[in-house]
Amino acid sequence: MTGSGPTRDEVQVAPGDAPETQGEPSISAYVIGLVLASGLTVLSFYITRGTLFWQPSIPTALIVLAIAQMGVHLVFFLHITSGPDSTNNVLALAFGILIVFLIIAGSLWIMANLNHNMLPMDQIMKMQR
């Protein structure tokens, strides 16, 4: 794609560019995204205070709402879609999500395991005396 003229090549869109509106970007996606994201945010803050949800389920519900909102941001603000011209962007994103998952889940797993195998703190204090 270094030639001076137009090339017919494997075409991708840049992240952020809406594929269906090439050259003619529109604000409708941003309006939809704003409405959906606001709704999810309000719901997140509401269930923290209210009695809408069964108390022990609230953290799980919050995480589900947050993941939904990140999806809304990706689709409506960053225009990362499942279309064929967005494949490179989606593949990079999938790899990023894998690494994020490994780092967070792996850290929590290892540290919980270490804490579990360690003596309770008061006994460590006794041994040091």
Partner 1 sequence: MIATVGRVVSTSESKRIAAGYGFWIFLLSDIIMFACFFAGYAVLVHATNGGPDAPQLFDLDRVAVETACLLGSSFTCGLAFVASGKRRAALFYMAMAATLVLGASFLALEGAEFSSMVARNAGPTHSAFLSAFFALVGCHGIHVSIGLLWLMTMMAQVYAKGFRDDILRRILCFNLFWHALDIIWVALFTVVYLIGVTP
- The least distance separating partner 1 from the CB of residue 61, rounded to whole angstroms, comes to 10
**Does residue 17 interact with partner 1 by CB under 8 A?**
yes
Residues 85-114, mask of contacts with partner 1 (x by CB under 8 A):
x-xxx-xxx-xx--xx--xx-xxx--x---
- The least distance separating partner 1 from the CB of residue 129, rounded to whole angstroms, comes to 20
Question: In Å, how far are 26, 87, 115 from 61, measured between CA atoms?
Answer: 33, 30, 27
Size of the site for partner 1 (CB under 8 A): 65
| Exposure b/e, 59-72, CB count within 10 A at least 16 = b | eebbeebeebbeeb
Determine the Cα–Cα distance for residues 52 and 48; give it in Å rounded to an integer.
9
What residue ranges bind partner 1 (CB under 8 A)?
1, 3-17, 22-27, 29-31, 33-34, 37-38, 41, 44-45, 48-49, 55, 58-59, 62-63, 65-66, 69-70, 73-74, 77-78, 84-85, 87-89, 91-93, 95-96, 99-100, 103-104, 106-108, 111
